[in-house]
Amino acid sequence: MRIQRYSTKDEGYVDPFGTIKSTIYNRDFEWYMGENNIGITPNPSIAAESFFKGILVDEDELIISPSETHTQILRKTKMPWGVIGGRDSSNPMERLMLVRLIMENEVTHLYDSSESPGGYGRILTFSPTSPSKLLYTLGKILPVTIDRKQIELEERIRELQKNYHK
């Protein structure tokens, strides 16, 4: 499991995102749910701006917590709050769907796309399909680490509850 990053050759020309099945707006991000891809754009917040800034080129890594109750994607950089899912008390399905997309594919491609052909690249797109070689330059791999501590904690709590009710 790895994330292959791409940078645009010319910021004015990017691939279109594709068919948007739904758009979801939450506190930090606007989510684009596609046929086989997921895109996000930042809303004005420190978490979103920290997550986005330099993600296609910086030396960093993603730490994913695949827990179904506390799904989180943390961008490990010098700024500790680059996170998807840090402040929300709920667990939106789009976050879990993104984690599954990353975990279920040997390679997930990460690049900027637009809402329409010829549009400005503003959607950070996660996809199992690579973008156009004519419009993008191959970038560095973004390392991904799976944090299973939350899952182990939840399993331990379930076991304690089960033993308590005997």
What whole-number distance in Å separates Cα of residue 94 and Cα of residue 100? 10
The helix (H) or strand (E) run that includes residue 157 is helix 149-164
Question: Which neighbouring-strand residues pair with 103?
Answer: none
Q: What residue segments make up the domains of the chain, in order of their start?
A: 2-164
The SS3 of residue 35 is coil
- Show pLDDT as tens, one digit a residue, over the chain (166 residues): 899 999 998 877 899 998 999 998 888 889 999 999 999 998 888 878 888 888 888 888 888 887 777 777 877 765 555 667 655 545 578 888 999 999 999 999 999 999 887 777 789 999 999 999 999 999 999 999 888 776 677 777 777 777 776 6
The SS3 of residue 27 is coil
Give pTM, 2 decimals.
Answer: 0.84
Output the CA angle 155-158-160, nearest 5 degrees: 110
CB atoms within 10 A of CB 82: 25
Helix residue spans in 36-79 (DSSP H) = 46-52
